């Protein structure tokens, strides 16, 4: 339950029972040496190889179920990426990539599967008289190997492992399918959006080609030159675009001249220009400037941040921008 909300549960819970689960292993080992059944169920092996086989939540089977039964790209990818670490009880990639953590679809199997595994193990020990764990193995030992080795290599241990894998798969599979259906629907929607975006991009390219063709035609009409005034708050930012326009004019041979200015200094000179371009920081003054500019037959356009920066870095693009507006 701690793990489901993103807190490392074993680090919180295990210290309270550590003395018991290790002492019981020692007791079981003494029983085993004396030829008696090792009946102490609550051991460190029970946690590592039964209750949390494949990591907290008993997730050993989950990556394989993803690869075998999931249809969504996300779950198949998670299965392929996580089945090796999960086999060695490192299931954080699975918990956070699926995600299982905080995912309501997995709350029930995440809590129920470890409990069911312990019940099954206790049945094998108490009723079928299988040996419990008699040794302590590394927690990273793959669960099937850890269970069989830790209980003394008995035939019942092999049967138990097969039963646990079957039980865990039966518990997890319905919830995996339910979540997979949701992901499939989301992927279908995203795929449709991607197709629409591709169509829009293609249409924009076609429009861009038309605009380019029109611009080329308009260039031929410009004989007497066009003057552009770029305004910003203090004539610093505006100078960047003005210089770009001058460079673009030289490169393209288009008769365009540009001048930078600060807002407030334009009232007496705006009548001398064909276009006024506003830098992003004075966009709020657009309507005020347009009132005076309309009386003089001067066009005014405001630019946005990214757009403005791109224009200052692309002289030819800046010239095309001005031509389109004019």
Whether the pLDDT of residue 73 is over 70: the answer is yes
Q: Please tell me the number of Cα atoms within 13 Å of 146 on its side-chain side.
A: 25
Question: Same domain, yes or no, for 82 and 177?
Answer: yes
Let me know if residue 115 belongs to a domain: yes
Let me know if residue 132 belongs to a domain: yes
Closest CA to 212 of 323, 303, 311, 306: 323
Let me know if residue 86 belongs to a domain: yes
Question: Same domain, yes or no, for 13 and 146?
Answer: yes
Alpha carbon distance 272, 283 (integer Å):
21
Confidence at residue 237, expressed as pLDDT on a 0 to 100 scale = 76
Question: Same domain, yes or no, for 38 and 168?
Answer: yes
Q: In what order do the strands lie in the sheet with 256-262?
A: 256-262, 226-232, 275-278, 299-302
pLDDT digits 0-9 by tens, 105-131: 999 999 999 999 999 999 999 999 999
Let me know if residue 200 belongs to a domain: no
Question: Same domain, yes or no, for 155 and 254?
Answer: no
Alpha carbon distance 66, 263 (integer Å):
62
Query: The domain containing residue 285 runs over which residues?
Result: 215-325
Which H or E element spans position 288?
helix 286-296
Let me know if residue 199 belongs to a domain: no
Question: Same domain, yes or no, for 103 and 226?
Answer: no
Six-digit token string for 23: 């002492």
Question: Same domain, yes or no, for 257 and 123?
Answer: no
Does the pTM of the predicted model rise above 0.85?
no
Domains in the chain, number: 2
Let me know if residue 202 belongs to a domain: no
pLDDT digits 0-9 by tens, 134-173: 999 999 999 999 999 999 999 999 999 999 999 999 999 9
Q: Please, what is the average pLDDT of the chain?
A: 88
pLDDT digits 0-9 by tens, 308-321: 878 888 999 999 89
Q: What radius of gyration, in Å, describes the C-alpha atoms of the chain?
A: 36
Enzyme catalytic residues: 232
User: Which CATH number belongs to the domain containing residue 315 in this structure?
Assistant: 3.40.50.2300
pLDDT digits 0-9 by tens, 4-51: 888 888 888 888 999 999 999 999 999 999 999 999 999 999 999 999
Question: Same domain, yes or no, for 39 and 129?
Answer: yes
Question: Same domain, yes or no, for 178 and 246?
Answer: no
Cβ pair 90, 143 in contact under 8 A: no
Confidence at residue 209, expressed as pLDDT on a 0 to 100 scale = 64
């Amino acid at each position: 339950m701690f793990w489901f909300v993103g807190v490392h549960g074993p680090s919180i819970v295990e210290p309270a029972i550590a003395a018991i689960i290790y002492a019981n292993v020692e007791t079981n080992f003494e029983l085993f040496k004396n030829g008696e059944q090792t009946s102490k169920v609550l051991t460190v092996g029970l946690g590592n190889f039964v209750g949390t086989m494949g990591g907290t939540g008993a997730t050993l089977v989950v990556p394989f179920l993803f690869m075998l039964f999931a249809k969504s790209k996300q779950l198949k990818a998670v299965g392929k990426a996580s089945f090796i670490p999960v086999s060695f009880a490192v299931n954080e990639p699975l918990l956070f990539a699926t995600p299982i953590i905080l995912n309501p679809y997995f709350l029930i199997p995440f809590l129920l599967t470890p409990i069911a595994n312990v019940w099954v193990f206790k049945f094998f020990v108490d009723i079928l008289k299988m040996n419990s764990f008699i040794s302590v193995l590394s927690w990273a030992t793959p669960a099937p190997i850890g269970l069989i080795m830790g209980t003394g290599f008995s035939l019942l241990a092999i049967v138990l492992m097969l039963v646990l894998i079957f039980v865990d798969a039966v518990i997890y599979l319905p919830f995996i399918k339910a979540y997979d259906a949701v992901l499939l629907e989301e992927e279908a929607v995203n795929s449709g959006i991607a197709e629409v975006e591709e169509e829009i991009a293609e249409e924009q390219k076609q429009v861009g080609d038309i605009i380019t063709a029109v611009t080329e035609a308009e260039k031929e009409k410009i004989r007497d030159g066009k003057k552009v005034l770029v305004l910003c708050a203090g004539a610093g930012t505006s100078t960047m675009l003005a210089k770009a326009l001058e460079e673009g004019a030289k490169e393209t041979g288009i008769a365009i001249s540009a001048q930078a200015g600060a807002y407030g200094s334009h009232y007496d000179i705006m009548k001398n220009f064909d276009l006024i371009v506003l830098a992003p920081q004075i966009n709020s003054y657009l309507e005020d400037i347009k009132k005076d500019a309309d009386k003089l037959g001067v066009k005014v356009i405001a630019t946005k941040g990214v757009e403005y920066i791109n224009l200052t870095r692309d002289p030819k693009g800046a010239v095309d921008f001005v031509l389109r507006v004019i």
